[in-house]
Amino acid sequence: MADQYAQSGEDKSTGIPAIRWEEPPEGPVVVLLDQTRLPAEEVELVCTDAPALVEAIGSLAVRGAPLLGIAGAYGVALAAARGFDVDEAATALAGARPTAVNLSVGVRRARSAYDAALARGAGGEQAAEAALAAARQLHREDAEASARMAEHGLALLDELLPGGGHRILTHCNTGSLVSGGEGTAFAVALAAHRAGRLRRLWVDETRPLLQGARLTAYEAARSGMAYTLLTDNAAGSLFAAGEVDAVLVGADRIAADGSVANKVGSYPLAVLARYHHVPFIVVAPVTTVDGDTPDGESIEVEQRPGYEVTEVAAPNVPVTGAGSGVPVAPLGTQAYNPAFDVTPPELITAIVTEEGAVSPVTAEALAEMCDRSRGV
């Protein structure tokens, strides 16, 4: 296929701070790059309390599983540092979105550090510092995990596709906008690009909130990758044309049996990949594996408001509330709008974490990988 859409240029992919902690004289804040405004504008959102962060999580100003974990941890630290009710903040943050398990993992990490400090006899200020240290640690660990996933993922791609010149299809957004580092699936594509082995990144637009078109294309362009955007429903013909060598996606929750919840539209790609004998690879940190969720059916899939489907806003900007966009369906139309779908393990070629690749995907192999990561 012609490469008339190829972009090239300098690699600037690492310069996007998706989240940071700041301590101006007025008191600590969590600063977010507002992802609802990308790529039109790079606008920061300053959260001075946990409710503001909860709202930012709900509106997807901050989003993507690993980043949700980091945001949840900073949210607890923020409530503690500003003297708010930490219990209330932790409960609200953990419940802000139901599917990405990283959110509750991050909240729990900071909350446990806070509680442990209090139990040791620390005052509120020291306990708040302990919560912040835990959030910062999670942030650092995510960056490290990201780099290791990129290495393992590229090694796997090279093994599965020895010819090089990978043409990778990805869905949703999984780069530095969702991570303390360079992301999950996108970090693997970026590693392939830097190694000169990425021929093309196919970017699904990811209806209805356009994370692919607005965010992945933004990150790919900044990285100087050759990338092409397609509508989600064009993926089938792309596979049929023999243009896809591998699919790389992230995950919001991986159940103990290896079922993967990820952005809605991932499961149809896995079905297509199987039909066309193309590897379907999931890239996620170990924190996304939830041993307490036994299988795919037990994963709670977030249902989003129908107006996200029945209305569109100005070009590149998602709708933010009922009536805020231009209707694309008759008034009163009901919409089915699950934010995620679940791919069963038998359709997944490999799950790549910072610990390496699990393939074939079985409950036993996943559990063994999680034990190794905990040093058990």
Picking from 92, 53, 59, 56, the residue whose alpha carbon sits closest to that of residue 75 is 53
- The yes or no reply on residue 104 touching ligand MRU (CB under 6 A) is no
- The yes or no reply on residue 211 touching ligand MRU (CB under 6 A) is yes
- The yes or no reply on residue 251 touching ligand MRU (CB under 6 A) is yes
Residue placing its CB nearer to ligand MRU in the complex, 127 or 220: 220
- The yes or no reply on residue 174 touching ligand MRU (CB under 6 A) is yes
- Which member of 13, 262, 293, 343 binds ligand MRU (CB under 6 A)? 262
Picking from 227, 164, 195, 239, the residue whose alpha carbon sits closest to that of residue 4 is 227
The residues near 259 (Cβ < 8 Å, ≥ 6 apart) are 295, 296, 299, 342, 343, 344, 345
- Which member of 33, 38, 80, 178 binds ligand MRU (CB under 6 A)? 178
Which tokens is 3 given?
């490469």
* 20-26 contact pairs (CB < 8 A, 24+): 21/74, 21/77, 21/132, 21/135, 21/136
- Which member of 219, 252, 354, 355 binds ligand MRU (CB under 6 A)? 252
Q: Which residues pair with 247 in a beta bridge?
A: 169, 280
- The yes or no reply on residue 70 touching ligand MRU (CB under 6 A) is no
The region of 63-71, 311-319, 320-328, 366-374 touching ligand MRU under the rule CB under 6 A is 63-71
The residues near 103 (Cβ < 8 Å, ≥ 6 apart) are 57, 65, 68, 69, 71, 72, 93, 94, 96, 97
Q: How far apart are CA 247 and CA 309, in angstroms?
A: 25
Residue placing its CB nearer to ligand MRU in the complex, 66 or 180: 66
Residue nearest ligand MRU (C-beta atom): 250
The region of 9-17, 59-67, 108-116, 305-313 touching ligand MRU under the rule CB under 6 A is 59-67
- The yes or no reply on residue 222 touching ligand MRU (CB under 6 A) is no
CB 177 within 8 A of CB 28: no
The region of 112-120, 218-226, 234-242, 246-254 touching ligand MRU under the rule CB under 6 A is 246-254
Is 63 marked as a binding-site residue? yes
Q: How far apart are CA 179 and CA 165, in angstroms?
A: 26
Q: Shortest approach of ligand MRU to residue 251 CB, angstroms?
A: 6
Q: Is 204 a catalytic residue?
A: no
Please give the residue ranges that form the binding site for ligand MRU (CB under 6 A): 60, 63-66, 100, 172, 174, 178, 183-184, 211, 250-252, 262-263, 339
Q: So which residues are the catalytic ones?
A: 252
Residues contributing to the annotated binding site: 63-65, 97, 211, 262-263
